[in-house]
Structure 1
Amino acid sequence: MYPKFKILIVDDEQDVAVVLEDFLRMEGYEVSSTTSPIEALEMIKQQKYHIVLSDIVMPKMDGIDFLTQVKQYDALTQVIMMTGYSTMDKTMRCLEAGANDYILKPFKNLAQLAEIVKISEDKLKRWWDNMRGNFA
């Protein structure tokens, strides 16, 4: 009934991206990762990702700018922002730009991250069910 959810991880710290990719793959998701937000935008244009986890502080492109471009390309994509350097201003900027959630690094545990991803998955399922009901 629902597609296998595809997740894209964008984090300039390769070690973080690999750990998250391995963990989410074990949770049953189809996962890709990159350390470059510019490459990530190209990947998003090539195939559909349902959920994107993105760091905020990255070289060449700020995570909030990346978020804005993702949402312009596909407003339904669930974008979860990650950062180790949080401020109230940064949190508000992410939410105003369309972030679906926000998580601090380092993670307390990966189960916390899995829970946040599941919330995004459930939101997409609810939207799809509502859209199907409108066209039935």
Structure 2
Amino acid sequence: MSGYSIMIVDEDTAISERLHETFVLAGYSQVELCADPAHALDMFQKKKYHIVLADMTMPKIDGMEFLRRIREYDPLTQVIAMAAHSTLDRILTCLELGANGYLVKPFKSNEQVLEVVNDSVKKLERWREAIRETIAASRRDR
């Protein structure tokens, strides 16, 4: 778990800090918080984040735009959208834009959030394994 970096983008510091504690206790050692989506995009360009949890109702940059920009930088990053006021249209738009998960705030439990993040890690592991197998096969075929 510790090899994966997580960014939490939410202006609600209570939620961010609770998520940070949950992930650290679960063994994720690289967890960073950011309350400003514009600053988060700058951070994202400078460092690789494997998983991003982002509030979809943020000041300055709309959550949907934030999701679009993350996808432009790195389409393999696992983005988990979060929102207190969800509609079916918003959820479907997030999925269409490439969100890997969606959480409705307030969260049912820390375990629910951790389960969504762990599922994202499993997806990343499957991608890594597929890449390793493809590279190994191409080397054998030379």
Q: Above 0.5 in TM-score?
A: yes
**Matching of residue 4 in structure 1 with residue 14 in structure 2:** no
- Superposed CA RMSD in Å reads 1.1
1:92 maps to which residue? 92
1:19 maps to which residue? 18
Structure 1 residue matching 2:11: 3-state secondary structure: coil
TM-score for both structures, normalised by structure 2: 0.92
2:115 maps to which residue? 115
Provide Cα deviations, 1:37-81, integer angstroms capped at 9, x if missing partner: 101101111110000000000110111100000000000000000
> 1:23 deviation in Å?
1.2
> 1:96 deviation in Å?
0.7
**Matching of residue 80 in structure 1 with residue 80 in structure 2:** yes
Q: Is the 8 A contact 2:20 2:31 kept in 1?
A: yes
Give ranges in structure 1 of 5+ residues lacking alignment.
none
The letter of the residue matching 2:119 is: I
Structure 2 residue matching 1:12: 3-state secondary structure: coil
> How many equivalent residue pairs?
135
> 1:3 deviation in Å?
6.7
Distance 1:17 1:74 in 2: 23
Give ranges in structure 2 of 5+ residues lacking alignment.
137-142
Provide Cα deviations, 1:86-122, integer angstroms capped at 9, x if missing partner: 0011001101111001010000100010000000000
Distance 1:93 1:33 in 2: 25
Percentage of pairs with the same residue: 43
The letter of the residue matching 2:76 is: L
Q: Is the 8 A contact 2:4 2:50 kept in 1?
A: yes
Of structures 1 and 2, the larger Rg is shown by: 2
The letter of the residue matching 1:129 is: E
Distance 1:71 1:60 in 2: 18
The letter of the residue matching 2:13 is: Q
2:139 maps to which residue? none
Structure 2 residue matching 1:86: 3-state secondary structure: coil
1:48 maps to which residue? 48
